[in-house]
Amino acid sequence: MVISRSRPESARTGGERIPAGRREAFKLKALRDFTLCLARARDFDESLHLSLMVILGSFSIVKGALLLREDGEFRVRVSRGLPPGMPPIETSKELVAALRRSGRPVLMGRREVPGAIRKAAEGMEHAVPAFSVDVLCPLGTRSGPLGLLALGPTITGEPLTVGERETLGVMTSFLSAHISNHRVMSDIFRLNEVLRFQVQENERLITGMQEIYLDTIRALATAIEAKDPYTRGHSERVARISVSIAKGLDLPEKEVEAIHIASILHDVGKIGTARSILTKPSPLTAGEIREIQRHPQTSFEILSEIKFPYPNVAQLARDHHEWLDGTGYPHGKRDRQISMGARIIALADAFDAMVSDRPYRDSLPLVAALGEIKSCLRRHYDPIVGRMFFRSLRGELSGEHREDPVFTALGERYSRGDAVAFLDRTLQDLR
Amino acid sequence: MSYLTVRTRQADDALVVYIDGYLNSLMGEEVERVVQEALDAGRRKVLLNFEGTRLINSIGISIIIDIVEKIMERNGMLAFCALSRINRELFQMTGVARYVQAFDLEEEALGYFAQSS
């Protein structure tokens, strides 16, 4: 026989003596293996699997099972040398109290083993007759038991030495801390998931509310446009161009939203302008011009009454006809007195008006309108805004934002090649 | 770096398992698997050749003990060969050497198997 079934057997077949210190080194290496396997395992189950293997290997134990406390019972999470299907052990009050009290590995051969612990071990032996529980290690922290480590006899049948029991005690405390950490991390993760779900739900609700809100604003703008059929769709087009420029300039999100709303509603003050003036097919008189120039102030007065969730919406609408050189209206503001948002809406509004038909004139061809904007940079329009506007249009003519175009009414009378050439020249000049 | 290659060869009615590399991780369960497969196929003699084994740690010992137990349960024969001095000491220290005879050469172990049949 090369292997023998009778154990223990005192004669060593190897024959040689083991140098002094080797056992100590083996014990230290086992502890190192143990901490490494806890740290390097890919997941929690693998860490438990490796822990059990290191413990069994360190003490030459043939069979063992690691049970974790879940839903009021200790369930086998990993085992070695045992058939699958070991039933869980109920966590009675007595067992929990006994495990808390003992805190360290319990040798089942001793007389003073608490009744509840002995009963738990016998329960396992009854379920798996091939398993004789020699040592039962409580796993847990001060807040209570987390699990159990049941170990069978050593391969030689000899009991663990005092030193080995101490090493096992150190390993089980590490293992307890590891399981406790995992529990805490799982709780945090679960809580995080609940919060994440709640945040998503809130975002969904907010998005829904924003859509309703934007629809209401658009409806208001459409009501004004109904009064002046020549400006149909104007608000929405100005809004698209303005938002594109604002985003291109990397303005803060709240400011972009304010610009979005203000550009939709910039002409809301025209509600107070006589329809006959808005639709007059001939040049306006000085009095009519004065009346129409009141609309930005009226827009301001209407919008000031609304509490928007974004800053300065009413001011942006009021200042959309102000020019950098102070020749705009209603207040003749200049340079820095005009906010960036108002400068953006001013340019977008002017451009859309130029390329649209009006009662008193036909639309300008695209390149002519662009030339007009270019020639008015610095005097009327902000060159930084102008450059971003040209760049955005250049991008669209090259095929960008095809799915959601910014420029929806450029007219028919232009050659793409000419427009691109003009834009490239202009962007070169504005460098 | 931890690597392990497990090769087997059939020598008459014995299975020779070559354990090359590090027997210190879950990869070592491959050795358990090939032995279990041989036992399930009705083989009873297994020789573990440790010539290419660089290191065995506590995980490796757990694997070897499992194999010893499996073969004992089936009344089979297990032998080791080509053990380094350190691994020989390790098997003595852990008690494994009490149950498994070790040979220097593979042929010696196979010769021993042949005599026993």
Distance, in Å, from the CA atom of B57 to the CA atom of A210, rounded to the nearest integer, reads 63
Cite the DSSP H helix spans in B1-117. Answer: 29-40, 58-73, 85-93, 106-116
Chosen from B72, B88, B99 to mutate, greatest number of chain A CBs within 10 A: B99
Express each pLDDT in B55-70 by its tens digit: 999 999 999 999 999 9
* A10 φ, ψ (degrees, to nearest 5): -75, -30
Residue A16 has a pLDDT of: 55
For range B6-25, the mean pLDDT: 94
Residue A3 has a pLDDT of: 54
Q: Does residue B26 contact residue B58 with C-beta atoms inside 8 Å?
A: no
A58 and B78: CB-CB below 8 Å? no
With residue A80 as reference, give the H or E element that holds it. strand A73-80
| Per-residue tens of pLDDT for chain A, all 431 residues | 345 444 444 333 444 567 768 878 888 888 898 888 888 888 999 999 999 999 999 999 999 999 999 998 999 999 999 998 889 998 889 999 998 888 889 999 888 899 999 999 999 999 999 899 999 999 998 888 999 999 999 999 999 998 899 999 999 999 999 999 999 999 999 999 999 999 999 998 888 888 888 888 787 777 777 777 667 788 889 999 999 999 999 999 999 999 999 999 999 888 888 888 888 888 889 999 999 999 999 999 988 888 888 889 999 999 999 999 999 999 999 999 999 999 999 999 999 999 888 777 788 889 999 999 999 999 999 999 999 999 999 998 888 777 788 888 777 677 888 889 999 999 998 88
Distance, in Å, from the CA atom of A173 to the CA atom of B26, rounded to the nearest integer, reads 23
Q: CB of A18 within 8 Å of any CB in chain B?
A: yes
Chosen from A2, A46, A174 to mutate, greatest number of chain B CBs within 10 A: A2
Distance, in Å, from the CA atom of A288 to the CA atom of A171, rounded to the nearest integer, reads 92
User: Which residues partner with B79 through β-bridges?
Assistant: B47, B101
How many Å lie between the alpha carbon of B44 and the closest alpha carbon of chain A? 12
Single-letter residue type at A218:
R
Residue A410 has a pLDDT of: 79
Please, what sign has the CA dihedral across residues B31, B33, B38, B40? Answer: positive
What count of Cα atoms within 13 Å lies in the side-chain half-sphere of residue A301? 10
Q: CB of A19 within 8 Å of any CB in chain B?
A: yes
How many Å lie between the alpha carbon of A17 and the closest alpha carbon of chain B? 8
Q: Out of A8, A9, A14, whose CB is closest to B92?
A: A14
How many Å lie between the alpha carbon of A171 and the closest alpha carbon of chain B? 13
- CB count within 10 Å of CB B91 equals 25
B26 and A29: CB-CB below 8 Å? no
A2 and B113: CB-CB below 8 Å? yes
The ipTM, to two decimals, is: 0.94
User: Which residues partner with B81 through β-bridges?
Assistant: B49, B103
| Surface of A (357-376) touching B: CB under 8 A | none
Q: Out of A2, A19, A34, whose CB is closest to B100?
A: A2
Q: What is the pTM (predicted TM-score) of this model?
A: 0.62
Residue A221 has a pLDDT of: 77
Residue A216 has a pLDDT of: 80
> What does chain B come to in residues?
117
Q: Which residue of B has its CA nearest to A51?
A: B59
Render the burial of A336-348: b for 16+ CB within 10 Å, e for the rest: eebbbbbbbbbbb
B93 and A156: CB-CB below 8 Å? no
Whether pLDDT at B90 is above 70? yes
Residue B117 has a pLDDT of: 65
Read off the DSSP letter of residue A110. Answer: S
Find tokens 């006899």 and name the residue. Answer: A153
Cβ neighbours for A116, distance < 8 A, ≥ 6 positions apart: A92, A94, A95, A97, A98
Q: Which residue of A has its CA nearest to B70?
A: A81
Residues of chain B neighbouring A23 (CB-CB closer than 8 A) = 93
Q: CB of A12 within 8 Å of any CB in chain B?
A: yes
